Amino acid sequence: MKYLKYFSMILLFLVLVGCSDEPEFLYEYSDYEYYDIKTFDEQLNHSQNEYYIYYYSENCGSCQYIKNDVMSRIANLEEDYLLLFDVRAGIDIHPNDFLRDEEDGLFYTPTMVYVENGEFIEKWVGIDEVLSILETLE
């Protein structure tokens, strides 16, 4: 009976650990250096006329939480084009207010923007909005 109790406790522990909310990282941002941009100039002057930019930070918990979703989406895109911008590594994020929050003027990650003909057109901020727009990309 004593062994059954210990076995049950160990089994319960393994099940709880296996059901953790922590994502298992299958992808790394560095695996997609081809899509990486680092300057303001690169954000608006890309060879594509229409594209999306995903702004993230390695130390952003929300960015880490959706990392696999973003990276797997990049790997499977056929029509849309998605670039990556590491906010911490980027020296020059953007000089105008488009990327900043309207209320407090801060820049939040994760953020995704749509760029057309060298101009920011639309912006999505936060996990829900970014995942929602990712679902529409082809």
pLDDT in tens, the chain (138 residues): 565 665 555 655 555 555 545 556 577 776 666 677 777 778 888 888 899 999 888 888 999 999 999 988 888 888 888 888 887 765 555 555 677 777 887 778 899 999 999 888 999 999 999 999 999 999
Instruction: Name residues whose C-beta falls within 8 Å of residue 14's C-beta, 6 or more positions apart in sequence.
Output: none
Q: What is the dihedral sign for C-alpha 105, 109, 112, 115? A: positive
Angle between helix 127-136 and 61-76 (nearest 10): 0
Among 94, 119, 42, smallest CA distance to 111 is for 94
Asked whether 99 and 120 are in contact (CB, 8 A), the reply is yes
Query: What pLDDT is recorded for position 52?
Result: 94
Q: Give me the residues paired with residue 82 across strands.
A: 52
Query: With respect to CATH, is domain 2-136 assigned 3.40.30.10?
Result: yes
Eight-state DSSP code of residue 109: S
d(CA 90, CA 37) in angstroms, rounded, equals 8
